[in-house]
């Protein structure tokens, strides 16, 4: 079994950095909270670089720049300037460089179970099938793929923070005429794969994010209300 050494080594190194910093062996003096936040941002930066998640990379660097503005000599750049530049950079780089996902070839047996065959790209990510009429997902710091299998899908609450996620709803049936999908995307990217028969009604709050759709839905089918917010992230709706 392949062992992932990154997180154990990173956590051990972080503990060493915390101890050494409190002993006053660093020439750069920062508060314990700034140091903890730095470690979290560095972890997010490395994870985002691994999967080419451009919003995660850009905003991790932006927040690091704000924390260390004084030693970097960029105190004249107010936070809103840095965040504004980060939004433009993340959108621009996101259009040029797409997240590094695996390709999944999906087959259905008589019980509608999913079988995934990965390509030659050795990228590890969280993949699973959800068998529930009410879906609740909280995803952060990584890449995830979820297949929703439901005979009477009713609602979904999807929270994506500093991560990349793909959610497939093509194996979900709506029998009561209407369902609700609520999203909360911040510093990450979320892709929703919806059946073409679903009639989407969008009621989204967009705060310096990017929302787009691909494909054309049919003119008849169950209604789906899409609510929530996108903050410094990306939401893509793909009809399949």
What is the CA angle 146-151-199, rounded to 5? 75
Which pLDDT score is estimated for 156?
Answer: 94
Domain holding 224, by residue range, is 105-239
Please indicate, yes or no, whether residues 119 and 187 belong to a single structural domain of this protein: yes
Please indicate, yes or no, whether residues 59 and 172 belong to a single structural domain of this protein: no
Which pLDDT score is estimated for 20?
Answer: 64
Is 1 within the bounds of a domain? no
Give the number of other CB atoms < 10 A from CB of residue 29: 9
Please indicate, yes or no, whether residues 185 and 70 belong to a single structural domain of this protein: no
Low-confidence ranges of the chain (pLDDT < 70): 1-14, 16-32, 51, 98-125
Check if the beta carbon of residue 180 is closer than 8 Å to that of residue 156. Answer: yes
> pTM for the whole thing?
0.55
Please indicate, yes or no, whether residues 90 and 208 belong to a single structural domain of this protein: no
Is 180 within the bounds of a domain? yes
Please indicate, yes or no, whether residues 36 and 119 belong to a single structural domain of this protein: no
DSSP state letters, 137-171: EEEESSEEEEEEEESS--EEEEEEESSEEEEEEEE
Angstrom distance (rounded) from CA 179 to CA 138: 19
Q: Of 96, 118, 138, at which residue does a domain stop?
A: 96
Torsional sign, CA 110, 180, 205, 57: negative
């Amino acid at each position: 079994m392949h062992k992932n050494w990154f997180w154990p080594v990173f956590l051990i190194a972080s503990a060493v950095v915390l101890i050494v910093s409190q002993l006053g062996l660093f020439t750069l003096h920062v508060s314990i909270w700034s140091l903890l936040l730095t470690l979290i941002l560095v972890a997010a930066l490395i994870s985002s670089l691994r999967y080419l998640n451009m919003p995660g990379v850009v905003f991790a660097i932006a927040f690091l720049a704000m924390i260390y503005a004084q030693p970097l000599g960029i105190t004249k750049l107010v936070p809103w300037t840095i965040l504004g530049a980060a939004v433009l950079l993340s959108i621009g780089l996101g259009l040029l460089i797409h997240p590094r996902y695996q390709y999944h070839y999906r087959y259905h047996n008589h019980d509608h179970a999913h079988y995934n065959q990965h390509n030659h790209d050795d990228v590890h990510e969280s993949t699973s099938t959800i068998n529930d009429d009410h879906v609740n997902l909280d995803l952060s710091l990584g890449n995830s793929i979820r297949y929703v299998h439901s005979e009477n899908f009713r609602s979904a609450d999807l929270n994506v923070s500093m991560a990349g996620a793909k959610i497939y709803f093509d194996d979900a049936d709506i029998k009561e005429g209407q369902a609700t999908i609520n999203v909360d995307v911040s510093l990450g990217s979320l892709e929703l794969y919806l059946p073409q028969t679903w009639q989407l009604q969008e009621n989204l709050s967009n705060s310096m994010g990017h929302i787009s759709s691909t494909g054309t839905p049919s003119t008849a089918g169950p209604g789906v209300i899409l609510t929530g917010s996108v903050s410094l992230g990306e939401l893509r709706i793909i009809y399949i």
